[in-house]
Amino acid sequence: MSSYKTTYLPVGGYKTAMAGSALRRLMTEYRELFNNAPHGVVAGPASEDNFFEWDVLIQGPEGSPYEFGVFPARLSFPTDYPLSPPKMRFSVPLFHPNVYTCGKVCISILHPPGDDPLGYEHSSERWSPVQSVEKILLSVISMLAEPNPESGANVDACKMWRDNRAQFLKEADKAVRRTLGL
């Protein structure tokens, strides 16, 4: 007689099990961020009832066009996290080469794992389950400090960053002023 117990998952049980695993991972990451958040970042679940939606505040990096700004964003995690990356969207208009006009952040670490269909990114630059919320937030801070116009989400911002830096800095300053209510 075998001592193994067979467990049958109900229909949709795999998804439920994945969500439970994702929830445990998110709770652990939240605890780590709460105890040791990167400088200039506050992040956590939007409510106690939903750990899959996080509110984020990012302070503009010192010496960057976004210095002194405080930028609210939302991280939305899939139920199969960390196998799939979250999505991040700024809640305020942010004129930036790597941010779509709708606020969605476009950086390699948030792109699905595997090979880039366009051949621009190496698979090592894209999402993998060893990444974390902290690494995402540090990447976004780095993106704010050093835009990548070669992988643009906002064509107008990319062009202005390359061709008219003074005008770009004025647009970035407008974004900072909006976050401060000025």
Work out the number of other CB atoms within 10 angstroms of the CB of residue 34.
11
> Residue 11's pLDDT band (boundaries 50, 70, 90)?
very low
Domain that holds residue 133: 2-179
Residue numbers annotated as active site: 106
Per-residue tokens: 48: 């106690």
> Residue 180's pLDDT band (boundaries 50, 70, 90)?
confident
CATH number of 135's domain: 3.10.110.10
**Nearest of 89, 76, 86 to residue 109 by alpha carbon:** 86
The predicted-structure confidence for 62-111, as pLDDT tens digits, reads as follows 999 999 999 999 999 999 999 999 999 999 999 999 999 999 999 989 98
The tally of domains found in the chain comes to 1
Q: What is the pLDDT of residue 150?
A: 83
- Helix/strand/coil for 82: coil
pLDDT top residue among 182 and 13: 182
The predicted-structure confidence for 124-179, as pLDDT tens digits, reads as follows 778 899 999 999 999 999 999 999 988 789 999 999 999 999 999 999 999 999 98
Q: CB-based contacts of 44: which residues, under 8 Å, 6+ apart? A: 30, 33, 34, 54, 55
**Nearest of 34, 42, 170, 27 to residue 95 by alpha carbon:** 170
